[in-house]
Chain A
């Protein structure tokens, strides 16, 4: 029994006790197709990795490139607030570049959407997110509130100045309310 076991383990292909030569060849063929981990000159993985590298390098240069425009040479290293106050043109450029960047990031990565509990209301009352996104409720009121949609989620009491998060993994429309204040109502729409 030990001999076939040894042969089976060899290169991870099970043809150790196979008497049929054709089956043996087929097994070698399978092994060549998907058995070894090698990096060939134009393998799909190399293309993907380099492609992504160029892709993000493009965004990086688009963003930092604004620092080298004639009007911004003096203010390139200032924090955004200072740039805003000294040079509106640069501010516009930086904003659109960062908007592009955040859109690119948002397209894939889960995001955290924010809902305030303010003046006895959920603000915004309706919020739309993607499956996998998180909604964070922050209580800006003096009084405690909850974000509750039984049986889907229930924050329990959220004290003044405290937050609570829930990650939505199922598409649908989730009307919720505050257990303490029945006139407080909101909806989370998960796409």
Chain B
């Protein structure tokens, strides 16, 4: 039962982000204003997952991870907002940012209904696939299309943060599956 739910959650998340990925690749390349909004939305979605996890989990390691997600993605968002202001860029919604947001809400609803170990596992599984998807979008779409040098630099310094989170989540995934 637990396994099957986790499997459904993981595959749903993967499907959602694969489609996000496919859309951004196929659609017109995002401009800087759209890239800024994609970064802000991607960070906000993960901060929301983290806030829910801090509230729900009883596992100290999962809680510490969720706190790091909140801390780091909030920091990236602050930096992105400050940069947008500095270069007079008004973040602009796009198909990518909209689907990130709606998929984020759906995932959050699913997680809200879960408890204890079931929640921990689903949350961490989602973090693994979410970070994989976001790193994919940063690499394939955001960095190549960013025109402003500061925005490109922000994306490039954001990438190792997401990669570190992915490694952290994978380690937790291993320990939760034991």
Interface secondary structure of B, over-half rule = helix
Contacts of A182 in B (CB 8 A): 168, 171
Whether A142 contacts B168 in the complex (CB less than 8 A), given A120-B160, A180-B68, comes out as no
Tell me if B163 counts as interface (CB < 8 A to partner A): yes
User: Contact size class for A?
Assistant: 10 to 19
Contacts of B64 in A (CB 8 A): 179-180
Whether A142 contacts B171 in the complex (CB less than 8 A), given A120-B164, A181-B164, A183-B164, comes out as no
Contact of A143 among B71, B154, B163, B168 (CB under 8 A): B71
Q: Is the CB of B167 within 8 A of A142?
A: no
Whether A143 contacts B167 in the complex (CB less than 8 A), given A160-B75, A180-B71, A181-B68, comes out as no
Q: Which of B71, B158, B160, B164 has the most CB of A within 10 A?
A: B164
Tell me if A141 counts as interface (CB < 8 A to partner B): yes
Contacts of B163 in A (CB 8 A): 120
CB distance from A72 to the nearest CB of B (A): 40
Q: Is the CB of B161 within 8 A of A141?
A: yes
CB distance from A66 to the nearest CB of B (A): 40
Q: Digit string of B91-135 for contact with A (CB within 8 Å is 1, else 0)?
A: 000000000000000000000000000000000000000000000
Closest residue of chain B to A182 (Cβ to Cβ) is B168
CB distance from B131 to the nearest CB of A (A): 13
A156 to B71 CA separation, bound complex (whole angstroms)? 14
Contacts of B167 in A (CB 8 A): 183
CB distance from A184 to the nearest CB of B (A): 7
Tell me if A190 counts as interface (CB < 8 A to partner B): no
Tell me if B85 counts as interface (CB < 8 A to partner A): no
A52 to B160 CA separation, bound complex (whole angstroms)? 52
Tell me if A119 counts as interface (CB < 8 A to partner B): yes
A179 to B60 CA separation, bound complex (whole angstroms)? 13
Q: Is the CB of A142 within 8 A of B79?
A: yes
A18 to B51 CA separation, bound complex (whole angstroms)? 84
Q: Is the CB of B72 within 8 A of A180?
A: yes
Q: Digit string of A121-144 for contact with B (CB within 8 Å is 1, else 0)?
A: 100000000000000000001111
Tell me if B157 counts as interface (CB < 8 A to partner A): yes
Tell me if B137 counts as interface (CB < 8 A to partner A): no
A141 to B160 CA separation, bound complex (whole angstroms)? 10
Contacts of A181 in B (CB 8 A): 68, 164, 168
Interface residues of B (CB under 8 A from A): 64, 68, 71-72, 75-76, 79, 154, 157-158, 160-161, 163-164, 167-168, 171
The 3 closest A-B pairs by CB, nearest first: A120-B164, A119-B160, A143-B72
CB-defined A-B contacts under 8 Å, sample of 19: A119-B157, A119-B160, A120-B163, A121-B160, A141-B161, A142-B79, A142-B158, A142-B161, A143-B71, A143-B75, A143-B161, A144-B72, A180-B64, A180-B72, A181-B68, A181-B164, A183-B167, A183-B168, A184-B164
